Structure 1
Amino acid sequence: MKKSVVILFAFIFMQFQAQQGAYYQQFAKYKMDIDVNAENFTYNGTQTLEYSNNSPDDLKVVYFHLYWNAFKPNSMMDQRVAGQGKNGDSRLQKNGISRLAAIPKNEEGSQNIHWIKQNGKNLKFEIQETIMKVYLAEPVKPHSKTNFTLEWDAVIPQQIRRSGRNNREGVDMTMTQWYPKIAEYDYDGWATFDYVGREFHAPFADFDVTIKINKDYVVGAGGTLLNPSEVKGYESSAKIKADKNKATWKWSAKNMLDFAWAADREYSVESFEVPQGPKVFFVYQKNDKTKAWGEAKPYVTKYFQIMNSRFGKYAYPSYAFIQGGDGGMEYGMCTMILGEAESVEELMGLMVHEGSHSWYQQMLATNESMRPWMDEGFTSYAESIVMHELFPPKDNRPNPFVEKIDAYRNFIKRGIEEPAVWLGDHHDNGTAYSYASYVKGELYLVQLGYIVGEENLAKIMQEYFKEWSLKHPTDRDFLHIAQQISGMDLKWFQHYWINTTKTIDYGIKDVKYDDKSTTITLVNNSQVPMPIDFSVITSDNKVIQYYIPLNMTRTWKTKDAYGDFTTLKYWPWTQKEYTLTVPYTKSQLKVLGIDFSQRMADVNPADNFVEVK
């Protein structure tokens, strides 16, 4: 064989290998027609699905989620709730007993698949609880498309968790995860986690949805309403076009993970524009218990402006806050939330958290079932920042995260912590899941800001959004960006904080004063090493700051939003104690302390400060 041919084959092989390892994401296009029987809480549906296989793999089977199959006695969700007892989700229990066990037969959730075809050919399928496995007539080749058609009927379940009929505030239908939904396929394979109550995952998709429902209903949805003049609630002069007693609602949504909607006869619809977008819809029952919604509009406007500026521009044309569900749950271009609130601040706390999922669940579409801390935690971080700005606290707290750090410290004392790396549905204790995902996920970013500096963290969050918006990033992708921007090695930090339940506990062990200076001995009392911000307050009330790098970062931070500092010799992570000397005598000092900014999640801060007397 000629040398030139060998070189050509080698080049082709290397290109092939590069393509095999390259990032890809699947895509789907749904066209669905739904006919709702509102009196019986059922519907019939047909679906056409164009599926794009952008992976390098032949797909011989596909999987669909049938989430509503969970809402019945002896389902996997029921078994999980019963098995966890009082350690589980209180919303799924009554007096410590699973609420699903008592669902009447006529209110059980179900999605009954009549048939499914691929390019017109009937397919064999099997239902495995909330997962449908479909055997293909022909493999879906790499970088090709195929078409599925299917027909099904469904019973809208008793409202237990997120979806269902007649929620506790009287909303008739919360229609979330309501259709046969194709599973995500990526480098890790098919994301076919059984639904037992927690999170979701899906490929990005376009949606074309037509809903026929009793003409007295108003529908709120995450999408663009294509015929507002023909339905109730969206235009004052609407001429409702009804087929006998039903109106037809036509919705469109592009490049989203899901399509969710809700329907009620008592809904009011209000809308307003946020400068530079999006258009916001409030869909709720307007009464004395929901009056906070009327006060919320300027706060919601400011909320979107803060998020757009700080974390990246919201990608979609609109966003709907819809009263429904059992608390708050995010979906594409909308959230379902309980509408009754004692104050506008209480309502905004829910709106801000659920709305921020548009960044860290929809646009940055991590696999929530595998890494809930990246979604819930990053969302909670944004929530703390925004709520701190919308409703400035009356006390003089040094940062927006003080309460979360205190809550984490108190939780640690209970001895039930579970690592954040665990799969979302596989935490044994509901409270431990919440702290692992929401609190430790949020404090992951707070600790990162402490380590790399707040300006670097802000750049990291912006670059993360810029590079991975409308994709499916992992924690490795985020860490890669954090290390690039900071120049630091941060793998050690992620390992300790996410993969273990080890804690941070530094303290001041000893202070010795002499005629010209003061020598302080610091000690690491626990297992997680950290760089240390150490400060002194002088007798004339000046704050002098020192920075003790941790050798594992290899590169040191050069600035931080909490003030200038003097960099000292690094502290090796294997060394339990560290001694530093400051050029101040006892009479010149008021206070010595670790982490005046109170960002470090030290579980025992009592020994972090010494008042000089």
Structure 2
Amino acid sequence: MKKLKFSLFSILFSLILSAQQSSYYQQYAKYKMDIDVDADNFTYQGKQTLDYRNNSPDELKVAYFHLYWNAFKAGSMMDQRVQSQGVNADGRLAKRVGNTVVSRLSEIPKSEEGAQNIRWIKQNGKDLKFEIQGTVMKVFLAEAIKPNSSTTFTMEWDANIPMQIRRAGRNNREGVDMTMTQWYPKIAEYDYDGWAAFDYVGREFHAPFSDYEVNIKIDKDYVIGAGGNLENPTEVKGYDSSATIKEDISKKVTWKWTAKNILDFAWAADRDYSVESFPILDGPKVYLVYQKSEKTKYWSEMKPYITKYYQLMNATFGRYKWPSYSFIQGGDGGMEYGMCTMILGEATSLEGLSGLMFHEGAHSWFQQMLATNESVRPWMDEGFTQYAEDFVSYRLFPPKESQPNPFVGALKAYANFAKSGKEEPAVWLGDHHDNGTAYTYASYIKGETFLVELGYIVGEENLSKIMLKYYDEWAMKHPTERDFIHIAQLVSGMDLKWFQHYWINTTKTIDYGIKNVKYDPESTTITLVNKGGVPMPIDFSVLTKDKKVINYNIPLNLTRVWKTKDIYGNIQTLPYWAWTQQEYSFTIPYTKAQLSAMGIDFSQRLADVNPEDNYLEVK
């Protein structure tokens, strides 16, 4: 009897422990910062109080902070990575000198290198020891942070604003004085996988959702654009025509910003900024912060497109949750932050500027609200964002030449790169790709085509339901690919684990073709062949001489459940094609005299690397 009781107790304990381990939690931080900027010397002094709550079941004995600006100097890990990559390095971080590739970071003058110098850090008033490891600060806690408890860090530091090489820095190529991104000591995210204390060597970021109160003291002639709520618009320049600027004895004013439940706080400052704003019905108030000139003339013209953009995004991917969003001229291309983006201001066309704004704005969904760890899973951020950009652009700027869907260009680009032999798996960590172009295709294109292929497998109606349910269940959290696939399987009823594995974890390709067609007096028998490494269900269509299109679906046995309709409407389902089977034959009740054409995937959504043998004109 005792043995039985012990066994029951053991089982119960194991179930409780398992439930605890699998239950979701996320950490919380609250920052209060006072910043004093010396604009003439591109430095600032910082003071910070950080309230941090440990909602995990783990006791934390150390903490990690990011010091991203420490990357912008000669000899840093970012510099070393650029030099080791050589011709494969990011073109924004390297330049060619003759036949040699030179890291731009190696040439930063000492006076213009990035630095975040920690004077001291305390926990609940007690001095802490810390260790600087490049762009990461390891802090040894005086008191372990127990599960479901809070602690308070205070610190002071000074910083040198770096020469702008990548995203942050002084005097960018368009003449913006200060781009202040990833600019403060930021606590790392802690979750089931441990501390996300990644070295910064050029790619992505991750952080806990946090509240911010940031007071920025700066020369009175500056205008600031930021991702947050400006609490004193009547006391500073640019936001209120009735503003009365009250400078202190040093001719500085203090900008007071707040923001709730965002991943970071970013801002930029320039004397020549203009600020325009407009509300969006059932959307955010949008701010455009930029230098007005002939080269930035398209910014004002973007307003009606931005309005339609947010309305489309809200309807398709879930409602934007914050009260405002700022497009700020201040980056070296485009980079997303909480409630704002930093982008280049100069554009040669309205459509070119729209693509940049639409992409960076979509990160509010797939990097901010659905805050995956983009250092680990960049394809879930960049790829889903690229999908949203193409989805909206196709509707707001219809292509001049007819194309069946918004993603034809991405599929062609993927196929060409896959055949180059340079592809690297999308599962790789963002900063650990050996080739900059391979990273782009793995994260942006492979992530985008993941959704395109998913829509092809489950049907577009189901894909729309999946995207909205994903938002409903995981907005303002940190989902993983497992969470997304779980929802996709619930909505579609299909098994989709195989697809995620093939598409994200490998570089195997899709390659189907028509091998043979046999015409009989009353029917036609078609034989297809799978020459690739990724099995897929197949949509097959025939065009009759009287212009009718008949659509068939050949299910893949791996999905276990078949789709019955898609963008074609209802489809005729044929017997399944086992993934181990190389060839597949089927017979249709049409003769050669009745047929005009036939082919795999009339919708052009299948990412077939050799589509030339997918179609046949019947002559």
- Place the TM-score, normalised by the shorter chain, in its bin: over 0.9
1:171 matched to 2:172: no
1:523 matched residue in structure 2: 529
Contact 2:135 2:200 in 1 (8 A): yes
1:72 matched residue in structure 2: 73
User: Matched residues, percent identical?
Assistant: 73
Query: What is the CA–CA distance in structure 1 between the aligned matches of 2:169 and 2:195, rounded to whole Å?
Result: 27
1:130 to 124, 132, 135: 135
Shift of 1:344: 1.1
1:228 matched to 2:258: no
Query: What is the CA–CA distance in structure 2 between the aligned matches of 1:501 and 1:557, rounded to whole Å?
Result: 26
1:547 matched to 2:553: yes
1:247 matched to 2:269: no
Contact 1:49 1:149 in 2 (8 A): yes
1:200 matched residue in structure 2: 205
1:147 matched to 2:148: no
1:361 matched to 2:367: yes
Shift of 1:129: 0.2
1:363-406 deviation digits (Å, cap 9, x = unpaired): 00000000000000000000000000110112221110001111
1:17-52 deviation digits (Å, cap 9, x = unpaired): 422321100010000000000000000000000000
Contact 1:241 1:248 in 2 (8 A): no
1:204-235 deviation digits (Å, cap 9, x = unpaired): 00000000000000000000000000000000
Amino acid at match of 1:76: M
C-alpha spacing 1:585/1:67, structure 2 compared with 1 (3 Å): same
Amino acid at match of 1:210: N
2:410 matched residue in structure 1: 404
1:585 matched residue in structure 2: 591
C-alpha spacing 1:10/1:528, structure 2 compared with 1 (3 Å): closer
Query: What is the CA–CA distance in structure 1 between the aligned matches of 2:477 and 2:334, rounded to whole Å?
Result: 24
- 1:531-610 alignment runs, 5 A limit: 531-610=537-616
2:44 matched residue in structure 1: 43
1:520-543 deviation digits (Å, cap 9, x = unpaired): 100001111000000000000100
Amino acid at match of 1:67: Y
Query: What is the CA–CA distance in structure 2 between the aligned matches of 1:445 and 1:350, rounded to whole Å?
Result: 20
Secondary structure in structure 2 of the residue aligned to 1:484: helix
Secondary structure in structure 2 of the residue aligned to 1:342: coil
C-alpha spacing 1:6/1:157, structure 2 compared with 1 (3 Å): same
2:54 matched residue in structure 1: 53
Query: What is the CA–CA distance in structure 2 between the aligned matches of 1:431 and 1:8, rounded to whole Å?
Result: 55
C-alpha spacing 1:517/1:9, structure 2 compared with 1 (3 Å): closer
Query: What is the CA–CA distance in structure 1 between the aligned matches of 2:182 and 2:505, rounded to whole Å?
Result: 30
Amino acid at match of 2:30: K
C-alpha spacing 1:5/1:170, structure 2 compared with 1 (3 Å): same
Amino acid at match of 2:517: V
Secondary structure in structure 2 of the residue aligned to 1:447: helix
Amino acid at match of 1:471: K
Query: What is the CA–CA distance in structure 2 between the aligned matches of 1:109 and 1:584, rounded to whole Å?
Result: 71
1:289 to 286, 295, 300: 295
Amino acid at match of 2:123: Q
Contact 2:551 2:568 in 1 (8 A): no
Query: What is the CA–CA distance in structure 2 between the aligned matches of 1:339 and 1:305, rounded to whole Å?
Result: 24
Query: What is the CA–CA distance in structure 2 between the aligned matches of 1:316 and 1:163, rounded to whole Å?
Result: 24
Amino acid at match of 2:42: F
- Length-normalised TM-score, structure 1: 0.98
Query: What is the CA–CA distance in structure 1 between the aligned matches of 2:342 and 2:164, rounded to whole Å?
Result: 13
2:350 matched residue in structure 1: 344
Shift of 1:14: 4.2
Query: What is the CA–CA distance in structure 2 between the aligned matches of 1:58 and 1:139, rounded to whole Å?
Result: 6
1:118 matched to 2:123: yes
1:503 matched to 2:486: no
Shift of 1:94: 1.6
Query: What is the CA–CA distance in structure 2 between the aligned matches of 1:300 and 1:400, rounded to whole Å?
Result: 19
Secondary structure in structure 1 of the residue aligned to 2:565: coil
2:462 to 456, 459, 470: 456
C-alpha spacing 1:555/1:6, structure 2 compared with 1 (3 Å): closer
Amino acid at match of 1:327: G
1:481 matched to 2:491: no
C-alpha spacing 1:578/1:8, structure 2 compared with 1 (3 Å): closer
1:49-101 deviation digits (Å, cap 9, x = unpaired): 00000000000000000000000001000000011111010000121210000
Shift of 1:6: 9.9
Contact 1:510 1:522 in 2 (8 A): yes
1:162 matched to 2:177: no
Query: What is the CA–CA distance in structure 2 between the aligned matches of 1:570 and 1:483, rounded to whole Å?
Result: 19
1:447-470 deviation digits (Å, cap 9, x = unpaired): 000000000000000000000000
Moved more, 559-568 or 159-168: 559-568
Secondary structure in structure 2 of the residue aligned to 1:90: coil
Secondary structure in structure 2 of the residue aligned to 1:34: strand
Shift of 1:512: 0.7
Amino acid at match of 1:410: N
Query: What is the CA–CA distance in structure 2 between the aligned matches of 1:277 and 1:199, rounded to whole Å?
Result: 27
Moved more, 236-245 or 179-188: 236-245
Shift of 1:564: 2.0
Identify unmatched segments of 5+ residues in structure 2: none
Contact 1:224 1:252 in 2 (8 A): yes
Amino acid at match of 2:590: Y
1:396-425 deviation digits (Å, cap 9, x = unpaired): 211100011111111122210000000000
Moved more, 78-87 or 9-18: 9-18
Shift of 1:561: 1.8
Query: What is the CA–CA distance in structure 1 between the aligned matches of 2:147 and 2:246, rounded to whole Å?
Result: 44
Contact 2:564 2:572 in 1 (8 A): no
Shift of 1:347: 0.4
C-alpha spacing 1:17/1:552, structure 2 compared with 1 (3 Å): closer
1:182 matched to 2:187: yes
- 1:363-402 alignment runs, 5 A limit: 363-402=369-408
Query: What is the CA–CA distance in structure 1 between the aligned matches of 2:361 and 2:21, rounded to whole Å?
Result: 36
Secondary structure in structure 2 of the residue aligned to 1:243: coil
Shift of 1:12: 6.9
Secondary structure in structure 2 of the residue aligned to 1:263: strand
1:491 matched residue in structure 2: 497
Amino acid at match of 1:392: P
1:152-199 deviation digits (Å, cap 9, x = unpaired): 000000000000000100000000000000000000000011000000
1:19 matched residue in structure 2: 20
Contact 1:45 1:151 in 2 (8 A): yes
2:35 matched residue in structure 1: 34
